[in-house]
Amino acid sequence: MVTILDTVKNAPKARHPEKANRPDNPIQRKPEWIRVKAPGSPVYKETQEIVKENGLFTVCEEAGCPNIGECWSKKHATMMIMGDTCTRACAFCNVKTGMPAPLDPNEPENVALAVEKLGLHHVVITSVDRDDLADGGAEHFAQVIRAIRARSPSTTIEVLTPDFLRKEGALEVVVAAKPDVFNHNLETVPSNYLTVRPGARYFHSIRLLQRVKELDPTIFTKSGIMVGLGEERHEVLQLMDDLRSADVDFLTIGQYLQPTSKHHAIIRFVPPDEFKSYETVAYTKGFLMVSSSPLTRSSHHAGEDFAQLRANREKKLAEARG
């Protein structure tokens, strides 16, 4: 096992000149409970090759995800569609900011090919924010879903979308393409939005998740947050209630890790027993599935979690039938 610093050092990263004017927040030493697998196994390299030869971006690389060694060694990569440049500049995120390139019309087919080659049972598709597009990229999301379905009909599909802020009808287009899981992350508690997620609105995100369920109750909904950004426990519990009031099925909670000294500082490393406590409380509030640990990320173990989520729903339905 190696430290997270070794992994981040070895993983390919995006360059971020746009963050140069942010204040410096020195990177803190990670606690002993944050340990990850080093990248570089033969399967890791195979995954890297498939991603490269299909000209794809992954959030695993662009965000410098600490789990890349583990996930890619199991051929689990999260595709990031619509380019590598985001129209927003959230204080926690390592993806570069600027004016993105036009959409690649071949991308849906290339993603579908990669999914087929990787032999994925479950795939997570995310994207940069594309506030420059009239529909926020909703139709492109739908095209990617349809292309994967055509090549790999048994693969289950999870989308992790932006908020499509002020894009009338965008959400409906993605829901109509019928992903199995619709994930949209709240990222943090509302009191942090101005500093952490300035381009977004907390209740817009809650409403978006609620709307997905209203449009298609068969789609699982999912959301996640990072902790260690200065939030209070009672705020996290309120956020859980807000998500449950929107009928959200699955909650993920993970430790925020600061990508560079130009990003938001880590206010606190949350110890593993607090993650466990959040998990226990979240289940009592009615979530079908909860993943809460220091290294939890939206797409970490997404395939295994999806299988469990489905089983939990069946169990709940059976109980309701008596």
Least distance to ligand SF4, CB of residue 118, Å = 12
Least distance to ligand SF4, CB of residue 315, Å = 26
Least distance to ligand SF4, CB of residue 72, Å = 7
Amino acid (one-letter) located at 217? P
- The site for ligand SF4 (CB under 6 A) is made up of 59-60, 65, 67-68, 71, 76-78, 297, 299-300
Least distance to ligand SF4, CB of residue 16, Å = 18
Kindly tell me which of 16 and 213 has the beta carbon lying closer to ligand SF4.
16
Contacts of 303 (CB under 8 A, 6+ apart): 76, 120, 121, 122, 156
- In angstroms, the CA 280 to CA 275 distance is 9
With H, G, I as helix, E, B as strand and everything else as coil, classify residue 303.
helix
Least distance to ligand SF4, CB of residue 75, Å = 10
DSSP designation for 15:
-
Least distance to ligand SF4, CB of residue 74, Å = 9
With H, G, I as helix, E, B as strand and everything else as coil, classify residue 7.
helix
SS3 breakdown of the chain: % helix, strand, coil, rounded to 5? Answer: 40, 15, 45
Kindly tell me which of 16 and 300 has the beta carbon lying closer to ligand SF4.
300
At 176, list the tokens: 């109509």
- Cβ atoms of 220 and 309 closer than 8 Å: yes
Kindly tell me which of 44 and 202 has the beta carbon lying closer to ligand SF4.
44
Kindly tell me which of 124 and 173 has the beta carbon lying closer to ligand SF4.
124
- Polymer length in residues for the chain: 322
Contacts of 214 (CB under 8 A, 6+ apart): none
- In angstroms, the CA 274 to CA 257 distance is 17
Kindly tell me which of 92 and 202 has the beta carbon lying closer to ligand SF4.
92
Residue 106, Cβ neighbours under 10 Å: how many? 11
Least distance to ligand SF4, CB of residue 308, Å = 16
First to last CA, the chain: 47
Residue 289, Cβ neighbours under 10 Å: how many? 20
Least distance to ligand SF4, CB of residue 60, Å = 3
- In angstroms, the CA 147 to CA 108 distance is 6
Kindly tell me which of 173 and 186 has the beta carbon lying closer to ligand SF4.
186
Kindly tell me which of 33 and 201 has the beta carbon lying closer to ligand SF4.
33
Kindly tell me which of 170 and 253 has the beta carbon lying closer to ligand SF4.
253
